[in-house]
């Protein structure tokens, strides 16, 4: 094995720093920590996703009740129902994937779960833009941590692939 930074050969495989340039290695311990962080980030992202899903469905329900009382077209508000459902459903693989990464089980499942959470976040973003829900700014704002956390968890889970049993 050679140092990724300076390219010199690593003599002491157990060390966590390069003896020549001081570049830190991804030692076993570091990878375990990275995977733990990735798992927690995925669980947080999934929880945020669930929250946004619930907000979407509640918004839809309230709007439907209002439209029913005044009369009008419900079609422009279907987006709330759509991202509400997507986000609530994607919470399940997100949470399970995060837990499985936490216990170092099933790499592929955890990795795909993180991608699903990212996709649901992107879908929510696109739906809000498509339906032009200007007043859903708070939802869009909450999408940012989900995007960041899910991308980070994809990266961290993939980086610590060898940690999985
Ligand atoms: Zn080096």
For the chain, the C-alpha Rg in angstroms (whole number) is 21
User: For residue 27, how far is its CA from the centre of ligand 1 (angstroms)?
Assistant: 14
User: For residue 30, how far is its CA from the centre of ligand 1 (angstroms)?
Assistant: 17
User: For residue 158, how far is its CA from the centre of ligand 1 (angstroms)?
Assistant: 23
Tokens of residue 11, six digits: 């003599």
Distance CA(107)–CA(105), nearest Å, equals 6
pLDDT at 48: 95
pLDDT at 39: 96
Tokens of residue 16, six digits: 């966590």
User: For residue 161, how far is its CA from the centre of ligand 1 (angstroms)?
Assistant: 23
Query: In this predicted model, which residue has the larger pLDDT, 112 or 128?
Result: 112
pLDDT at 122: 93
pLDDT band at 97; cut points 50, 70, 90 = very high
Rounded to 10 degrees, the C-alpha dihedral 59/63/64/65 comes to 110
Rounded to 10 degrees, the C-alpha dihedral 143/42/151/93 comes to -90
pLDDT at 29: 56
Residue 2 sits at φ, ψ, to 5 deg, of: -115, 155
Taking a 5 Å cut-off on Cβ, the residues next to ion ligand 1 are: 3, 5-6, 18, 20-21, 23
Tens digit of each residue's pLDDT (9 = 90 or more) over 6-29: 888 877 777 778 888 888 876 555
pLDDT at 124: 92
Taking the CB of residue 148, how many other CB atoms lie within 10 A of it? 13
Whole-structure pTM over 0.75, yes or no? yes
Query: In this predicted model, which residue has the larger pLDDT, 2 or 51?
Result: 51
Query: In this predicted model, which residue has the larger pLDDT, 61 or 26?
Result: 61
């Amino acid at each position: 094995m050679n140092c990724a930074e300076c390219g010199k050969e690593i003599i002491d495989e157990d060390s966590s720093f390069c003896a020549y340039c001081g570049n830190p290695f991804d030692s076993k311990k570091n990878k375990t920590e990275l995977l733990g962080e990735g798992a927690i980030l995925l669980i947080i992202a999934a929880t945020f996703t669930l929250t946004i899903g619930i907000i979407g469905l509640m918004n839809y329900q309230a709007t439907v009740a209002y439209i029913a009382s005044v009369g009008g077209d419900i079609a422009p508000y279907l987006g709330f129902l759509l991202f509400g459902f997507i986000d609530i459903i994607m919470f399940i693989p997100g949470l399970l994937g995060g837990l499985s990464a936490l216990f170092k089980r099933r790499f592929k499942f955890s990795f795909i779960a993180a991608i699903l959470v990212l996709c649901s976040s992107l879908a929510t973003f696109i739906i809000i833009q498509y339906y032009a829900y200007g007043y859903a700014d708070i939802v869009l704002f909450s999408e940012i941590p989900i995007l960041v956390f899910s991308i980070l968890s994809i990266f961290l889970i993939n980086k610590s692939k060898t940690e999985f049993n």
